[in-house]
Structure 1
Amino acid sequence: MKLSRKDLPDVGELVIGTVKKIADHGAYVFLDEYDVEAFAPTQELVQSWFHSIREYVKEGQKAVFKVTSVNPKMRVVEVSLKRVRDQDKERKLLQWRRGLRAYKLLELAASKAGVSQQEVIKYYWALEDAFGDPLRAFEDIVKVGPEVIKGARLPPKLEQAVIEVAQQHIELPEVKISGVIKAVSIESDGADRIRDMLKSVAEAVKKKHPQITMKLYVIGPPRYRVDLAGKLPKQLEAAYNDLATALQEAAKKYKVIASLQRIEK
């Protein structure tokens, strides 16, 4: 699927390629993002002349290649497999998968809005311009709010369809904020006071933020760990701030000296 706006890749660029044919002197690779065929010489596929090309690639295999030369006039592109570092490969594959998913979601939205499939790529590029990563448009609708899509300047019907598709199909990963509570009491029933204080804090946070999961457990007196988990970072930050406030209020009520320190990742 041609997602790139350019006709040909640049030298040094990482590209997604599907191996179409293997020959004695190399492999012919279809560059998915460009709808163009490239060639990977044997020396750019194998680590040693003692190895066969088929030990590294197979027909039909999709892989990440690095562009080594481009002849625009002849539309000849050469690529290398062995010049791709592992970390670059993983990053490129993730980028490609995210791009494909964004395109599929946009296709679905276009179908709902009555927009022709031929125009999908144009609006895909509009999301790319506005968000950098087109899939981020769908994620931010769920994470931040539907208003973020305004920056892409989509037709009204398509904009509404994109919002609906995002809300139906985007599942955000869970994020977590952790902190350490230190609680000390000089009262004779200090242990009970600390226990009641922590229970009061947990109830206050859960009541105000029912969508947030909160776990509170003992590290070793006087230190207690609290974990807050949820899918929306802003809600999670708000819950953590309310936790800090609730702790200070409860500490005064139960005559406990308490502090909260965030665990930085």
Structure 2
Amino acid sequence: MTRFYEKKYPDVDELVMVQVMSIEDMGAYVKLLEYDNIEGMILLSELSRRRIRSVQKLIRVGRNEVVVVMRVDPDKGYIDLSKRRVSAEEVVRCSEQYEKGKTVDSILTQVARKHEGMSAESLYEKIAWPLHKQYGHTYDAFKLSISEPDHVFAPLGLDPDLLTELRSTIARRLTPKPVKVRADIEVKCFSYAGIDAIRRALQAGEAVSTEEVPIKVRLVAPPLYVMTTTSTDKVAAIDLMEQAVERIGESIAQEKGDLVVKMKPKVVSETEDAELKALMDKFEAQNMDVAGDDDSEEEEE
């Protein structure tokens, strides 16, 4: 682990991620994870806004905490921190920033291992810190480099072999992986043209599809249908699937039919996908069994 940022110490009022090392009478000793594990302290009075009855309920050794910097004395090496002055929104923001930093650190460490005599620290100096200064965070620069490598890396003047390895590692780690989104619905319509009404409603749902988020509807067993899509943009896929479900509901309602959402659109795991396939195979097998029974009865007659 090295410094995520070029400066050696954090600024006053900066949010930082720390890990609790020990709890003493004065407060908790911690290490600053983004600043080369330098030591800091959360004073007992800065642990909580409420009266402290049990320190162990507020903070535990080994746990990561988001805190804000109150005082920094570089000469003596003192860093005073506060947990009680951090809002829930700030915890989320700092946690996201820390995860970005961990990803960058992992990428640079991997690249350094592939090049003999090169350290992660030297890559921070050559790559991470200059990009952080220009783009606000090295992670954001790495993400942009997937589509615009020359724009991001040309000013750094990196060795061609190093650049190739860096780009390859970034692509493996940061290229979005497709996720599967699914929704289960029941669609019923008992009017004279009910089957056609259901078909039109399902087609209306599929028509919401885009090139990036294609939606397919399949029959499991009447009246249960499954809607699926695969996309690298999870949020967009769920949002579009919700729109498709709404469109189906509107269409079938006009035909005096009914829509029941059995499972709202969500990302499904391989296990859930396998369970669905097993269920569909089961229904298909049952249908074949019934057809076989009919044939045998006709032969007996």
Partner of 1:111: 113
Deviation of residue 228 (structure 1)?
Answer: 9.2
Q: Which has the larger radius of gyration?
A: 2
Give the conservation status (yes or no) of the 8 Å contact 1:46–1:53. no
Partner of 1:147: 150
Partner of 1:187: none
Question: Which residue type is aligned with residue 162 of structure 1?
Answer: L
Give the conservation status (yes or no) of the 8 Å contact 1:15–1:64. yes
Partner of 1:11: 12
Q: Does 1:43 align with 2:45?
A: yes
Give the conservation status (yes or no) of the 8 Å contact 1:18–1:60. yes
Identity %: 25
Give the conservation status (yes or no) of the 8 Å contact 2:145–2:153. no
Structure 1 unpaired stretches of 5+: 176-190, 218-226, 233-265
1-side partners of 2:152 and 2:112: how far apart? 15
Q: Name the SS for the 2:214 alignment partner.
A: strand
2-side partners of 1:213 and 1:79: how far apart? 46
2-side partners of 1:26 and 1:79: how far apart? 10
Partner of 2:176: 172
Give the conservation status (yes or no) of the 8 Å contact 1:19–1:29. yes
CA, structure 1 residues 8+213, in 2 after alignment: closer, same or farther (shift >3 Å)?
closer
Q: Does 1:97 align with 2:99?
A: yes
From 112, 120, 123, the counterpart of 1:120? 123
Q: Does 1:138 align with 2:142?
A: yes
Structure 2 unpaired stretches of 5+: 180-195, 218-227, 234-301
Question: Which residue type is aligned with residue 167 of structure 1?
Answer: A
Please list the CA deviations of residues 40-90 of structure 1 after superposition, one character each: whole Å capped at 9, or x if unmatched. Answer: 111111333342221111111111111112223322111111111111111
Question: Which residue type is aligned with residue 214 of structure 1?
Answer: P
Q: What number of residue pairs does the alignment pair up?
A: 201
Partner of 1:259: none
2-side partners of 1:125 and 1:53: how far apart? 37
Q: Name the SS for the 1:88 alignment partner.
A: helix
Partner of 1:30: 31
Give the conservation status (yes or no) of the 8 Å contact 1:139–1:172. no
1-side partners of 2:178 and 2:108: how far apart? 24
Q: Does 1:85 align with 2:73?
A: no
Question: Which residue type is aligned with residue 87 of structure 1?
Answer: E
Q: Name the SS for the 2:176 alignment partner.
A: coil
